[in-house]
A and B are shown apart, each in its own frame.
Chain A
Amino acid sequence: MSKKNKLAPYMKKKLISYLINFLLVVAGFVVINVLTTLGVIDRYIAGILTMVCINIILAVSLNLVTGILGQLVLGHAGFMAVGAYTAALFTIHSGLPLEGFGGAITFLLALVLGGLVAALFSVIIGIPALRLKGDYLAIITLGFGEIIRVLILNLDFTGGALGLRNIPGMTTFNWVYILAALTVYIIYSYMLSRHGRAVLAIREDEIAAEAAGIHTTYYKMAAFVMAAFFAGVAGGLYAHYIGVIAPSKFNFNYSVEILVMVVLGGMGSITGSVIAAAVLTILPEALRAFSDYRMLLYSVVLILMMLFRPGGLLGRSELSIAGLGRWIKRMAQRFAAWLRRRKNGEKAPKKDKKSRKKGEVQ
């Protein structure tokens, strides 16, 4: 009994924040659905939102390996391709129902299967690459991405360069929204556990992590395989959304595009990846008005970002409601101080920033 009482405050605080986040996700879901029925969100916007969700899954899963584990992966689109083709071939050839409730089950099976096959590939790549210390994974995944693309191009059952056609369009906005939310939750909750701490320790110092009793190869594999799984799921969603998939879509450029989202959002920041994925998916569409200059503007935005926030939008920190509250409070205090100074006609104290930093250390 006493044990339960001791547990309560620790758990309660966490559970409340989970509940708030859950309600926010539900609210977002309801709002978008209402707007769709009202006709505010047309098919064009709905399409962009779907791609946003798919890119969120890709960016967050890549962040698990590149930002949190600290291993560069240059072939994330390769895992996505494996998932996309596996899932698409499954729904086309399995003969299972495609409509109604049965269709939902078939789709779910296809997505999970796509994820599992992608994960299987990551195991095959990871075993030799992750037993070593250092950046071998970057080179191996780079090669993997290209091999997969060329392989798909030359196999018969994948449709070659023409691509795979007539994939049933089962991906709706509700599917991608729920799965994106689920992916973020799973990776986030995994991070805030003993497993996540072990993964972070490897990023910080692999030798020290091992000396602290962490089975480094196991945790590196776990993070990498998990990331590949979600990339596979995202691939399945993509295939059933677009309807036609060709190997050229899953090229090196797309891998880099996902990587840019991770870097821009902040390596190791999951919420940062979510925001960056959304911004970088919407940005090219929003810049359509500038037609010819749109890729130029896109690049300029990226360069400016890296100049002014080299650590990414959020750096290593996460966006949270509690954090936002603290930030608003701090800003309000600063504003109040500014107002006071203005009233008294003083100048801003110059040492402000320095003294604050000193205070933090002590």
Chain B
Amino acid sequence: MALLEVKNLGIAFGGLRALKDVQITIDNGEIVGLIGPNGAGKTTVFNLLTDVYLPTEGTIELEGNSIVGKKTYEITQHGIARTFQNIRLFKYLSVIDNVKIAMNSQMKYSGFAAVLRLPSYWKEEQRVEEKARELLRVFDLEQYAETRAANLPYGQQRKLEIARALATDPKVLLLDEPAAGMNPTETLELMETIKLIRDRFKISILLIEHDMSFVMGICERLVVLDYGMIIAAGDPEEVRADPKVIAAYLGGE
């Protein structure tokens, strides 16, 4: 059974059908790329998967359970985490707090226990502190743990956002243009990091990206959107040779 199964997904904003009949399946441990020209509806797919918008048609199933209509935070707790196209960090908080916040739903102590500083508070805080540092180490960010997130260089901020998404313990990670604004070296480094986290955390990844060398180098499967519809899907090499895809990107008659 597929991990994430999207069937006949569609959304209409009034008379505008932004997405129509979208089918995406993601298996365990896969890295799938979602590409398409600007305005094709890629981010809208992400927004439907995380309940920013409610789909007008179709189903979304995570491990066989429908997640349509669940709240965003519930979906995150069920195992779909995301990053944003424009970085959305908690800027004035420290790097480690950014990660700890994402671990909130894995902690159980009550507000009462927090105020009285009961043993459960100390135990869980200690556990999360260690876990957050470990995660930062994977991303080579541990030395910045106490730095304000806003003071990190751009590439590191992107990494921190991925680290924060991973801290929610997801099964599927949605990355919205992770390499946007990065220089070639940073992009290469990011490719390695993404492969590493897939293997290490045993998760599947769905990513939106415009950098074709990045997409070709990392994705095992591609889905191409244009005008809200899927025009091609499958192996990266096949997709690249597909005349419809070429027409969508370069224009055709």
Interface of A with B (CB < 8 Å)?
A: 6-7, 10-11, 18, 185-186, 189-190, 193-198, 200-201, 204-205, 207-216, 222, 316, 360-361
Kindly name the residue among A185, A194, A205, A361 whose own CB sees the greatest number of chain B CB atoms within 10 A. Answer: A194
**B222: min CB distance to chain A, Å:** 25
User: Is A200 within 8 A of B93, CB to CB?
Assistant: yes
Q: Tell me which residues across on chain B come within 8 A of A361, comparing CB atoms.
A: 151
Kindly name the residue among A186, A207, A214 whose own CB sees the greatest number of chain B CB atoms within 10 A. Answer: A214
**B215: min CB distance to chain A, Å:** 23
**A222: min CB distance to chain B, Å:** 7
User: Is A214 within 8 A of B114, CB to CB?
Assistant: no
Q: Tell me which residues across on chain A come within 8 A of B101, comparing CB atoms.
A: 197-198, 200-201, 209, 212, 214
Q: Tell me which residues across on chain A come within 8 A of B204, comparing CB atoms.
A: none
CB of B137 within 8 Å of the partner chain: no
- Hey, what's the 0/1 contact readout for B123-137 against A, CB within 8 Å counting as 1? 111101100000000
Contact A204-B92, Cβ < 8 Å, known A7-B126, A194-B107, A211-B82: yes
Chain B, 95-132, CB within 8 A of any chain A CB:
97, 100-102, 104-105, 107, 109, 111, 114-115, 117, 121-126, 128-129
Contact A212-B93, Cβ < 8 Å, known A189-B115, A189-B117, A360-B151: no
User: Is A194 within 8 A of B126, CB to CB?
Assistant: no
User: Is B88 within 8 A of A205, CB to CB?
Assistant: yes
> How many of chain B's residues have a CB under 8 angstroms from any CB in A?
41
CB of B25 within 8 Å of the partner chain: no
CB of B77 within 8 Å of the partner chain: yes
**Distance of A195 Cα from B97 Cα, bound (Å):** 12
Given A208-B90, A212-B164, 17 further pairs, Cβ under 8 A: A6-B126, A189-B114, A193-B111, A193-B115, A194-B107, A194-B125, A196-B114, A200-B90, A200-B93, A201-B93, A201-B101, A211-B73, A211-B82, A212-B167, A213-B76, A213-B104, A216-B73
Secondary structure at the A interface, as helix, strand, loop or mixed, is helix
- Nearest residue (CB) in B for A196 is B114
**Distance of A10 Cα from B82 Cα, bound (Å):** 32
User: Is B97 within 8 A of A197, CB to CB?
Assistant: yes
Q: Tell me which residues across on chain B come within 8 A of A205, comparing CB atoms.
A: 88-91
**A195: min CB distance to chain B, Å:** 5
Contact A197-B123, Cβ < 8 Å, known A212-B164, A316-B92: no
- Nearest residue (CB) in B for A207 is B88
User: Is A193 within 8 A of B114, CB to CB?
Assistant: yes
Chain B, 54-89, CB within 8 A of any chain A CB:
71-73, 76-77, 81-82, 84, 88-89
**A112: min CB distance to chain B, Å:** 15
CB of B157 within 8 Å of the partner chain: no
User: Is A190 within 8 A of B111, CB to CB?
Assistant: yes
User: Is A214 within 8 A of B115, CB to CB?
Assistant: no
Q: Tell me which residues across on chain A come within 8 A of B128, comparing CB atoms.
A: 194
User: Is B122 within 8 A of A210, CB to CB?
Assistant: no
User: Is B73 within 8 A of A215, CB to CB?
Assistant: yes
**Distance of A291 Cα from B214 Cα, bound (Å):** 73
**A313: min CB distance to chain B, Å:** 18
User: Is A194 within 8 A of B100, CB to CB?
Assistant: yes
User: Is B122 within 8 A of A212, CB to CB?
Assistant: no
**B88: min CB distance to chain A, Å:** 4
- Nearest residue (CB) in A for B124 is A194
User: Is B90 within 8 A of A201, CB to CB?
Assistant: yes
Q: Tell me which residues across on chain B come within 8 A of A214, comparing CB atoms.
A: 73, 101, 104-105
